[in-house]
Structure 1
């Protein structure tokens, strides 16, 4: 039984389909664009949380995450940064991914800071109601973590440019304090040419030899919601082999024609287009 009439099975492994579809539609929603009521969205979220919480997928993921955190001197997580959920009031995949985020928030007893350019006003209100702090500005992933702050970055099915921006913004040994749950770095490296990586994921490419990546077994019953996720840690950035990394610090630049990443400068144009 499907969790929602709108759910469609997709066999493709291309993980950015959700965001590409939304972005190509030019979807920057307003309050009136959200047909679902807050009560109905909260009800569906609670059902998704319950389904995930009793799944083998969640048990294995949380155990893997705790093992990764326990390998550090301090296993606590002071904050979760989340990008890339999309319109969870309308999209089933986004809703399940938010449900997982809320379970992680509860399980780790921590704070959540979250942003997606596609969030509408109703969704922002709901997130605040659920105890999450909504980041108002589209930072394009360029959020700098305070030195020493233990951080879990949760980027489900995000564009590689967003991950790349986050790495650049924290391009120093402080990355040792970060754990990233998101698209497999191995998959990004293996499925893109060197030229494409240099243009769109240079910092992913640079850090890759120093990443400890642990694949998340995708045993959830819907195989395209949590596919290609890995837990990434950076345990050895103080060694001599990593010293040359930090000489690269140029801010990433991408083509405006790139449909994977919603850049801050194009949001006003998208909003204007939706009003016409």
Structure 2
């Protein structure tokens, strides 16, 4: 599929920002940034990494996002037909106007929406560090910027959802799982982000079980498929996996783990900091996003 296809034409309005990553005299910074994203998308599509990674994503999604819920009746890889009643949520992509890693991740996200035939107005994004320029470009691209910092606590309200969360903090993944802590909900979502098993392997078991209990509890019911290794994109997508939670595996978990899930609480590190940016620290800007009904 052509990287240029479906790319929304930028508007004429200018915008202030922290930088576009590549300055061109007399050019609107937003237009320069959009052009650079298109260039990176073309580079991605011509690489073996895109072919391998998008195939892994499609193979991982085809079971949990089957419209008829029949996990044994796997559809054609080429036509998943999941665009209806399906959305994407992106957390923590970073400053894609100035950071090359974040810029490539944003280009990858746009390609993925195109590949899965997900309308851009069904892709909701948030990062409390987004600059004014980045917010403007996201709006011009047709993506929806969330109205507030949910700290990863985003309930999917029964809508099949792919979460794009590359290199996010462990707390965000844990919060996301807590917000959707029910078999019928988890089976309708997938998480593209840091390897859950890698998180487990790199932490003392006691700390992992205590501070990231929802990741720990869901691991036995998780289908995790790692991204391919590629020298050009090693830093950008290292330790990245696609995580799905098949109904058949969720049914095997003890019924006790679903009862009265407690909201996660995190302790500050030695420097008095947390992995996530709290709501009170910085808020996003609403650009006509209507939040799904949140878990009370």
Output the CA distance in 2 between the equivalents of 1:33 and 1:96.
19
| Residues 222/197 of structure 1: CA separation in 2 closer, same or farther (3 Å cut) | same
Residue 150 (structure 1) aligns with? 160
Which residue number in structure 2 is paired with residue 112 of structure 1? 123
Alignment of 1:88-237 (within 5 A): 88-110=96-118, 111-147=122-158, 149-173=159-183, 174-219=185-230, 221-235=232-246, 236-237=248-249
Q: Using structure 1 for the length normalisation, give the TM-score.
A: 0.81
Partner of 1:26: none
Look up the SS of the partner of 1:255 in the other structure. Answer: coil
Give 4+ residue runs of structure 1 displaced > 6 Å after superposition: none
Q: Is the 8 A contact 2:192 2:240 kept in 1?
A: yes
1:128 CA displacement: 1.4
1:55 aligns with 2:47: yes
TM-score when normalising by structure 2: 0.75
Larger Rg computed on CA atoms: 2
CA distance in structure 1 between the partners assigned to 2:254 and 2:125 by the alignment: 30
Contact 2:177 2:214 in 1 (8 A): yes
Q: Shift of residue 241 of structure 1?
A: 2.7
Per-residue Cα deviation, 1:217-245 (whole angstroms, up to 9, x for no partner): 12151320011100111013552434232
Q: How many Å apart are 1:65 and its aligned residue? A: 1.5
Residues 230/238 of structure 1: CA separation in 2 closer, same or farther (3 Å cut): closer
Q: Check 1:42–1:187 CA distance in 2 against 1; reply closer, same or farther (3 A cut).
A: same
Report Cα offsets for 1:121-162 as digits up to 9, x if no partner: 211111111121101201000110012x11111101000100
Query: Mean alpha-carbon deviation: is it higher for 150-159 or for 70-79?
Result: 70-79
CA separation of 1:204/1:39 partners in 2, compared to 1, >3 Å: closer, same or farther?
A: same
Any unmatched runs of 5+ in structure 1? 1-30, 269-276
